[in-house]
């Protein structure tokens, strides 16, 4: 009697969980496999797919082809962006969180302002930066250069420079990390800080010697999130590349100056309709991110932050 009751409960459990499982199969697992199939084909959506073996991957990984050059430009931009954004998020994020963690009117105002850019539409955010970092002679930074008697710079159109504008824009995106770190800082018993500061520890030492070690799981979590989101950077690059962001309005900047992996996938798939090539890019992104994620994921499980029960 009891056993059948348990079995019945288990069945009901499956019913409740089923929407997610169906969604996972239809929108994640099956597309993943279809995408793998496509990656070995050439297909423009109009004629039938043609099997081409490893050709798509070979072209992407061969720097003598246009695809290869673009792919590696996108890869290098994405890695630079991910690496430096993660560092900015962690280092500046913690420092800012520490500075504004205490509740006061002025801190609340500063927190709100610092978080504000995180609420913006990515494209609007990069378009907002257009009049500052844009390549036009009249953008703010170029106006300053002009006043200093220096030549204006085509930041976004110069290979190897566009990505640094994106990295620099990360300072406007630290709000998310800040909120996470404030929560972390607040979980530490204030008596711990008090005791240390009575012993003569400076504010800086309180942060680096006491707070940072205690909230290290939060730091790990935030690092993982920064890396995963960094690898998928898309909308700020698209926004900067658009006519509105910079005045260019074609492709991924000039000379792939604004190329990122996901942007390249989007271009191949939804502008050029080279579905096979786009799928191959997708799988390379997937493999690359998986290697990073799985390592980090194993680490997170060990910290025991998420538990089944």
Partner 1 sequence: MQRIKIKMQMSDVFFRILAAFMTLLILFPFLWLLLSSVKTNAEYYVQPSPFFPSDPQWDRYKYVFIDLAFYKYMINSIFLAAVVVVLNVTSSSFVAYGMARFQFKGKSIVFTVMLMTMFLPSQVSFIPQFLIFDKLEWVNTYLPIVVPHLFGAAANILLVSQFIKAIPKEMDEAAMMDGCNSFSIWLRIILPQSVAVLIVVAISAFLGSWKDSMSPLIYLRDANLYTVPVALMYFQAPDQNSYLLLLTGVVISIIPTLIVYVCLQKWMDKGIFIADLK
> Restricting to residues 262-291, which ones interact with partner 1 according to CB under 8 A?
262, 265-266, 269-270, 275, 278-279, 282-283, 285-286, 289-290
Query: Of 121, 192, 195, 291, which one interacts with partner 1 (CB under 8 A)?
Result: 121
Nearer residue to partner 1 within complex by CB, 206 or 254: 206
Residue whose tokens read 């798939």? 269
| Helical ranges in the chain per DSSP H | 2-24, 30-39, 55-60, 66-100, 105-115, 122-133, 140-147, 162-169, 175-187, 190-198, 203-205, 212-214, 216-231, 235-241, 243-246, 261-266, 275-303
Segment 211 to 230, residues that bind partner 1, using CB under 8 A = 218, 221, 224, 228
Query: Of 51, 192, 209, 305, which one interacts with partner 1 (CB under 8 A)?
Result: 305
Q: At what angle do helices 105-115 and 175-187 cross, to 10 degrees?
A: 140
86 near partner 1, judged by CB under 8 A: no
Q: What does the block give as tokens for 27?
A: 């929108």
171 near partner 1, judged by CB under 8 A: yes
6 near partner 1, judged by CB under 8 A: yes
Nearer residue to partner 1 within complex by CB, 65 or 112: 112
**CA 86/CA 37 separation, integer angstroms:** 34
79 near partner 1, judged by CB under 8 A: no
Characterise 41 by phi-psi region: left (phi > 0), alpha (psi -120 to 50), beta (else): beta
Nearer residue to partner 1 within complex by CB, 153 or 293: 293
3-state secondary structure at position 309: coil
Nearer residue to partner 1 within complex by CB, 73 or 218: 218
Torsions phi, psi for 51 (to 5 deg)? -70, 130
**CA 120/CA 106 separation, integer angstroms:** 23
Query: Of 86, 90, 123, 219, which one interacts with partner 1 (CB under 8 A)?
Result: 123
Q: Are the beta carbons of 260 and 77 closer than 8 angstroms?
A: yes
Query: Of 52, 60, 90, 129, which one interacts with partner 1 (CB under 8 A)?
Result: 129
Q: What would you measure as the largest C-alpha separation in the chain, in angstroms?
A: 88
Nearer residue to partner 1 within complex by CB, 31 or 64: 31
299 near partner 1, judged by CB under 8 A: no
Q: Are the beta carbons of 68 and 156 closer than 8 angstroms?
A: no
Number of residues located near partner 1, criterion CB under 8 A: 112
251 near partner 1, judged by CB under 8 A: no
51 near partner 1, judged by CB under 8 A: no
197 near partner 1, judged by CB under 8 A: yes
- Shortest distance (Å) from residue 69 CB to partner 1: 21
């Amino acid at each position: 009697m009891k056993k059948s009751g348990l079995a019945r409960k288990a069945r009901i459990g499956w019913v409740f969980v089923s929407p997610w499982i169906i969604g996972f199969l239809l929108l994640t697992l099956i597309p993943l496999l279809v995408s793998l199939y496509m990656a070995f084909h050439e297909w423009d959506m109009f004629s039938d797919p043609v099997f081409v073996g490893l050709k798509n991957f070979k072209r992407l990984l061969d720097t003598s082809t246009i695809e290869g050059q673009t792919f590696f430009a996108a890869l290098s931009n994405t890695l630079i962006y991910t690496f430096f954004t993660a560092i900015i998020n962690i280092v500046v994020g913690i420092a800012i969180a520490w500075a504004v963690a205490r509740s006061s009117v002025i801190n609340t105002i500063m927190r709100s302002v610092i978080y504000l850019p995180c609420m913006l539409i990515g494209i609007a955010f990069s378009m907002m930066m257009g009049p500052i970092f844009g390549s036009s002679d009249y953008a703010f930074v170029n106006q300053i250069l002009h006043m200093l008697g220096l030549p204006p710079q085509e930041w976004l159109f110069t290979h190897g420079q566009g990505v640094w504008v994106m990295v620099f824009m990360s300072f406007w995106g630290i709000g998310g990390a800040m909120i996470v770190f404030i929560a972390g800082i607040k979980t530490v018993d204030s008596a711990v800080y008090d005791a240390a500061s009575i012993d003569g520890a400076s504010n800086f030492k309180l942060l680096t010697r006491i707070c940072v070690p205690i909230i290290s799981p939060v730091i790990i979590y935030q690092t993982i999130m920064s890396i995963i989101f960094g690898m998928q950077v898309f909308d700020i690059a698209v926004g900067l590349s658009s006519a509105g962001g910079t005045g260019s309005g074609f492709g991924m900047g000039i000379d792939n100056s604004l190329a990122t992996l996901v942007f390249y996938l989007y271009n191949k798939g939804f502008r050029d309709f080279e579905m096979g090539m786009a799928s191959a890019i997708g799988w390379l992104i997937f493999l690359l991110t998986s290697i990073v994620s799985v390592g980090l994921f194993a680490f997170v499980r060990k910290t025991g932050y998420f538990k089944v029960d």
